[in-house]
Amino acid sequence: MLKNLNPLLTPELLYVLRAMGHGDELVLADCNFPSDSIAAQTTYGSLIRLDGNTISEAADAILSVFPLDSFVEFPVLFMQVVGKPDEVLEVHNDFKKSVDSSSDRDWPISSIERHAFYERAKKAYAVVSTSERRPYGCFILVKGVIGPDGNVI
C-alpha cells in the first residue's frame, strides 16, 4: 500500500496513468463494452481490469491522480444512447459528480455516438473495464497537464 492513494489504483493502472502524456485518452468502460477487443488495438495493447467496481468508483480512484485536459473543448466524453443522442442517464450524472468532486473547476462533458465512440476508443492509450452494469456507462478521459505548482493547467 501507498499513502494517500486510492486502493483501486493497481500497479498496472498507476503505470499506465503515469506513462500517458498530455492529450492521450483513457477509456473507462462498463461490463458490456467490448473491452478486450478494443483494448488490444490501443497504445497499451491490453485490458486493465477493475472488476467488482462501478464506473463511479473507478472514476473516483482515477480522477484522484489524473489531470483532465483544459486545452480541449471536452476533456470528458460519454457514449450516447442509441436513437436518443440528447439523453443523459443516471450513470452519466454520477460520472459528472465524480469529475466535479475531484476538481477545482467545472469540466465540460459531451457525448459521442456509439460507433464513433468505439472507433475513438481503439485509438486511446488504454481501456479500463469495470463491473458497471448500467448501460452506456462508457467514458473517455483526455489527459491534461500539471504545472510546476502541482495544479492542473
The closest of 89, 75, 91 to 23, measured between CA atoms, is 75
Residue of 44, 69, 92, 136 marked active site: 69
State which amino acid sits at residue 1. Answer: M
Which residue's C-alpha cell is 491522480?
Answer: 65
Q: Is 90 helix (H, G, I), strand (E, B) or coil?
A: helix
For residue 128, CA distances in Å to 38, 66, 71 come to: 11, 14, 23
Residue of 30, 60, 118, 125 marked active site: 118
**Distance between CA atoms of residues 102 and 61, nearest Å:** 9
118 is catalytic: yes
**Distance between CA atoms of residues 39 and 109, nearest Å:** 23
Give the Cβ contact number of residue 106 at 10 Å: 9
Residue of 15, 22, 36, 115 marked active site: 22
* Residues identified as active-site: 22, 69, 118
